[in-house]
Amino acid sequence: MSKAKFKSGFVAIVGRPNVGKSTLMNHIIGQKIAIMSDKPQTTRNKIHGVYTSESMQIVFLDTPGIHKRQSKLGDYMNTTALNTLGEVEAVLFLVDVAEGLGGGDRFIIERLKGVGTPVILVLNKIDRVEPEQLLPIMEEYRKLYEFAEIVPISAKLGNNVNTLIEQIGKYLPEGPQYYPEDQVTDHPEQFVCAELIREKILHLTREEVPHSIAVTIEDMRVQENGVVYISAVIFVERDSQKGIIIGKRGALLKEVGKLARQDIENLLGSKIFLELWVKVKKDWRNQERILRDLGFHQDA
């Protein structure tokens, strides 16, 4: 009996902001590489996550949530998400069944109609609705687009995620193993560290601050004692936001550092010394040069 051929390919995860794209990818990968927050538009870059089993390797692209733009950064996020669709073997269109079909979903479906790639509709957050509600929801989406598959899941609880992986496998061609089996992302460690710091700020702040921040790693090196030294800069748009991030007597910034340090030590598997700085770059989200400096490059 001949051995089954190994399959591999690239799969994009698209959907409105805050429908659980990063939660799903982190669950599949088994490690946090995409940051999670209850605030929309958390993901700004395509995050490459790698899932490897004995029979296949899936490289996931977790795209920014497609949304109505409000800045040049918003343009970048939408363009990044939409350009991804032509580069992959399959597209996962993730929706929140608890919220129901909305204008944002219709907007994305219209964009999907111009793509020849198979689209799998993933009905997420099924733990938040009654089972009998699922069939009418499926029918509602099916009327708008001919999906290759429809798979209900709970990314948070892991319900039916293995079935989703099996369905994705049907659309992958025979191919090579692009990454070693123990590699879960192709992003450099600096990128993931910066994202983990940004995640903690998102959790600890509110209102206008979250979307006004960017984080860069200025220095990262192993010291003689084996501790990894990391110096990170948190950019904000206004002086008032700088005060919020630092907090009274530096309390909020210390809490960001404490929480981020725990995740980064888990990621790197070693002790770290983390220094955080807060700087003001006025209106950086609308300045192309600053966006390029911070790593937001428009796809060609």
Answer yes or no: is 126 a known binding residue.
Answer: yes
Compute and round to an integer the Cα radius of gyration of the chain.
20
Answer yes or no: is 248 a known binding residue.
Answer: no
Answer yes or no: is 15 a known binding residue.
Answer: yes
Closest CA relative to residue 13, chosen from 128, 107, 121, 106: 121
Answer yes or no: is 127 a known binding residue.
Answer: yes
Answer yes or no: is 105 a known binding residue.
Answer: no
Give φ, ψ of 79 to 5 degrees.
Answer: -60, -40
Convert 263-299 to b/e letters by CB count within 10 Å (16 or more is b): bbeebbeeebebebebeebeebbebeebbeebebeee
Q: How far is CA 228 from the centre of its chain?
A: 25
Answer yes or no: is 66 a known binding residue.
Answer: yes
Answer yes or no: is 49 a known binding residue.
Answer: no
Give φ, ψ of 250 to 5 degrees.
Answer: 75, 15
Count, residues in the chain: 300
Answer yes or no: is 18 a known binding residue.
Answer: yes
Give φ, ψ of 176 to 5 degrees.
Answer: -80, 165
Give φ, ψ of 195 to 5 degrees.
Answer: -65, -40
How is the beta sheet containing 228-236 ordered, strand by strand? 214-222, 228-236, 272-280
* CA distance linking residue 48 with residue 211, whole number of Å: 22
Answer yes or no: is 150 a known binding residue.
Answer: no
Answer yes or no: is 65 a known binding residue.
Answer: yes
Answer yes or no: is 20 a known binding residue.
Answer: yes
Q: What single letter denotes the amino acid at residue 297?
A: H
* CA distance linking residue 58 with residue 169, whole number of Å: 8
**Annotated binding residues, as ranges?**
15-22, 62-66, 124-127
Binding site as annotated, residues for GTP? 15-22, 62-66, 124-127
